[in-house]
Every structure is written in structure tokens, then in C-alpha cells.
């Protein structure tokens, strides 16, 4: 196991597109680091640079204190699970698992031993002599996983491995991955666009946008103390509400201009009371909660706002209600979107 460090890493493509800007990232040994962000934010590029599939145009990459920037992926002792699994279609599961070890010249007995062990751990024993085309989606995923585990690499890299699975399988496999990480005590760099995956799996999460890391922190810190408006709006579902405010409490910096408050931190009260009034447009009952779409101050008279309310809350569309904000859960941002309070 090893640490991974990105020092001032940048990537500019020949056509001028900037995929990564001055990335600084320090991933500790044994940590589960998630890179998350919308598509095009540069997270996959960053992962591929760690893997060695792309070269940075500036900066250094270190794995286990060794500068690997000029090395190809073969020499970095890493393993990667691709979004499409990239299993070798013409080889059996057993040969797929053994491929990496064979490339390194590991002896036959060792290969057989490790392959069987990994197969057992991932319940792949019955399909060892099948080819990938004959496997289910979930099985293929596990073979991709097994291929990585068998190599016992310094770092595991995952490129959106769950996006090709259906929702139920995704949740199950997520739990599997978490368990696997604990058992192997491995260093993992994991890329996803799904913030829920990031929050549940990561010991730390790096949120990226347009090639820049916005914030690196444990999931709860991202949720409670987002560094800017983008992170605040990205983490947590349904997304945070943003309300432009002209008057701000005097205790805050004079630059504060936008109030952020999460749908879970707003309470619906009777019309006329609370901090604000709002017009109810739509109510979605989700069983465990109600998702209420409102319009501040009146029908079409203010910004849209969403509230998550307990299921027994009496609320009907086309009515005015009152909203009470949980004062200790308010976020303030300046006009550039940076956090000020």
C-alpha cells in the first residue's frame, strides 16, 4: 500500500482544452479518496494521469514517495477497474484474472493460488472457465474487481465502476466495495459523478469543477461546511436552496450576498408565522417524506425553493404557508460563490 500525491498537476490538450489546473492532492496510505464532480470536470483525466494512461503537461505525480510522472502504467504497480470493465473477451475468467500476474512473470503456482483465492472471495469459482460474454453484468464487475485484487498493487483506481449496473445492484455492490476496502486496507482512488456514492464510500472526497479541485474533505465536512456555492449545491440531495439577499445580519462580512439553506433544514409552519412566506406549487409524497416545491412570497413572486418535510405535515398545493429556517444551519456566500459564514 502506498500514498498518492499530485503536485501542481496540470493537463492541457493540444487543442487548448484545459482538463486540469494546478491540482494539489495528498492521498494517504489506506485512504478511500473519491473524486467527484459533473461530467467534464476533469476527474477522469486526473485518474488516468495517476494511472499513467495520460501524461500531465505540468507538475508531478508521486506514488509511495516515488516520482512516477515519466513512467508508463506498466511500471507504476497500480490496478484499475474501468467503467466498462474492459475484460479480455477472448480469454476465460481464469485467464483474465491471471493476465496481470503473467505479465509480471510470476510463477505458475503463485498465479493459480492467487486466482483461486480471489475467485473464492468474489464468488467467481463456478465461472472460472467461462468467457466474459457468458457472464451477467454483476459477475463481469466482480471479475474486473478480481483482476485488480489479484495483483496486490500499491493503489486501486476505480473509474465509475458502478454506472453500468442497475440501481439495486449498484447499492449492493457499493456495500461490497466498502467491505473490501476495509478488509484489504488498500489505498483507493475512486471516480464517480454520483454524489451519493461519493458521500457513502469516501473517507475523503475531492469535489472538482472545470479541472479545479473545489474542496477536499471528509463527507460530513463537505455537507456541513461547503467551501463554495458549487460544493454546497452539489453535495446533498435534494440540492441546497440559494436565495439572493440584500440585507444580511451585521455579524457577517459585508460581502455576503447569497443565503444557502438545505431543504431538510426548513420547516413548514402555518401561514403568517416563521421567517418567510411562500406559495406551494407542488407536493410529491415519497412515503418517508414529502418534497414540497414552493415559490417565495407568493405565486411567481420570488425565487423557487424546495423543502423536505416529514410525511405527516399538512400541506396542500395552491396555498400560502410559512417557512422557518433552522438558524444554525444557514450558509452564506459572497457574490463569487465563496463561503463567508
Contact footprint for other proteins (CB under 8 A): 8, 10, 12, 18, 51-53, 55-60, 67, 69-74, 78-80, 82, 84, 86-90, 99-100, 103-104, 147, 151
Question: Which is nearer to other proteins, 8 or 117 (by Cβ)?
Answer: 8
Dump the DSSP string for 212-261.
EEEEEE-HHHHHHS-SBHHHHHHSSSSPPEEEE-S---TTS-TTEEEEEE
Which residues sit opposite 291 in a β-bridge? 284, 308
Cis amide leading into 106 (omega within 30): no
**Which of helix, strand or coil describes residue 292?**
strand
Distance of closest approach, residue 117 Cβ to other proteins, in angstroms: 18
Helix or strand (DSSP H, E) at 59 = strand 58-63
The least distance separating other proteins from the CB of residue 69, rounded to whole angstroms, comes to 6
Name the minimum Å distance from CB 206 to other proteins.
22
96 versus 195: smaller Cβ distance to other proteins = 96
- Give the C-alpha separation, 16 to 14, whole Å: 5
Q: Which is nearer to other proteins, 100 or 274 (CB)?
A: 100
Taking the least distance from each CB to other proteins, the nearer of 74 and 338 is 74
Nearest-approach distance from CB 97 to other proteins, in angstroms? 10
Half-sphere exposure of 233 toward its Cβ, with a 13 Å CA cutoff?
16
Taking the complex as a whole, how short is the minimal distance between the CB of residue 79 and other proteins, in angstroms? Answer: 7
4 touches 187 (CB < 8 A):
yes
Question: How far is C-alpha 88 from the chain's CA centre?
Answer: 27
123 torsion bin: left (phi>0), alpha (psi -120 to 50), beta (else): left
Task: Give the nearer residue to other proteins in terms of CB position, either 52 or 219.
Answer: 52
Cβ closer to other proteins: 189 or 278?
Answer: 189
CA 316, chain centre distance (Å): 36
State the minimum distance, in angstroms, from the CB of residue 313 to other proteins.
45
Q: What is the DSSP string of 149-197?
A: HHT--SEEEEESTTTTS-HHHHHHHHHHHHHHHHHHT-EEEEEES-HHH
Q: The cell 412566506 sits on which residue?
A: 277
Cβ nearer to other proteins, comparing 72 with 249: 72
In the chain the first and final C-alpha atoms are separated, in Å, by 39
- Please, what is the minimum distance in Å from the beta carbon of residue 179 to other proteins? 24
In the complex, the smallest distance separating the C-beta of residue 70 from other proteins, rounded to whole angstroms, is 4
Nearer to other proteins, 38 or 88 (CB): 88
Nearer to other proteins among residue 59 and residue 233 (C-beta): 59
Q: 212, 230 in Cβ contact below 8 A?
A: no
Cell numbers linked to 230: 458549487
In the complex, least distance from residue 236 CB atom to other proteins, rounded to whole angstroms? 32
Amino acid at each position: 500500500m502506498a500514498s498518492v500525491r499530485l503536485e501542481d498537476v496540470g493537463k492541457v490538450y493540444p487543442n487548448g482544452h484545459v482538463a486540469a489546473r494546478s491540482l494539489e492532492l495528498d492521498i494517504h496510505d489506506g485512504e478511500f479518496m473519491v473524486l467527484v464532480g459533473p461530467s467534464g470536470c476533469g476527474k477522469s483525466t486526473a485518474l488516468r494521469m495517476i494511472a499513467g494512461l495520460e501524461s500531465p503537461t505540468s507538475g508531478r505525480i508521486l506514488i509511495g514517495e516515488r516520482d512516477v510522472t515519466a513512467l508508463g502504467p506498466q511500471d507504476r504497480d497500480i490496478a484499475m477497474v474501468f467503467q466498462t470493465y474492459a475484460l479480455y473477451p477472448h480469454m476465460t475468467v481464469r485467464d483474465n484474472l491471471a493476465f496481470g500476474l503473467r505479465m509480471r512473470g510470476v510463477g505458475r503456482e503463485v498465479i493459480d493460488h492467487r486466482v483461486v483465492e480471489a475467485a473464492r472471495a468474489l464468488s467467481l469459482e463456478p465461472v472460472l472457465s467461462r468467457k466474459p460474454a457468458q457472464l451477467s453484468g454483476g459477475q463481469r464487475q466482480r471479475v474486473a474487481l478480481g483482476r485488480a485484487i489479484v495483483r496486490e498493487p500499491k493503489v486501486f483506481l476505480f473509474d465509475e465502476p458502478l454506472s453500468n449496473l442497475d440501481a439495486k445492484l449498484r447499492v449492493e455492490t457499493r456495500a461490497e466495495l466498502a467491505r473490501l476496502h476495509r478488509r484489504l486496507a488498500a489505498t483507493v482512488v475512486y471516480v464517480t459523478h454520483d454524489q451519493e456514492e461519493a458521500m457513502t464510500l469516501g473517507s475523503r472526497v475531492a469535489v472538482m469543477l472545470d479541472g479545479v479541485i473545489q474542496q477536499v474533505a471528509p463527507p460530513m465536512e463537505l455537507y456541513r461546511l461547503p467551501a463554495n456555492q458549487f460544493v454546497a449545491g452539489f453535495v446533498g440531495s435534494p440540492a441546497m436552496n440559494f436565495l439572493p439577499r440584500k440585507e444580511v445580519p451585521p455579524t457577517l462580512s459585508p460581502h455576503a450576498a447569497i443565503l444557502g439553506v438545505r431543504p431538510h433544514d426548513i420547516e413548514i409552519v402555518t401561514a403568517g408565522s416563521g421567517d418567510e412566506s411562500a406559495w406551494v406549487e407542488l407536493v410529491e409524497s415519497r412515503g418517508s417524506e414529502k418534497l414540497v416545491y414552493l415559490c417565495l412570497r407568493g405565486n411567481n413572486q420570488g425565487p423557487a425553493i424546495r423543502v423536505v418535510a416529514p410525511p405527516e405535515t399538512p400541506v396542500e398545493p395552491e396555498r400560502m404557508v410559512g417557512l422557518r429556517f433552522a438558524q444554525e444551519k444557514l450558509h452564506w456566500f459572497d457574490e463569487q460563490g465563496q463561503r463567508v459564514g
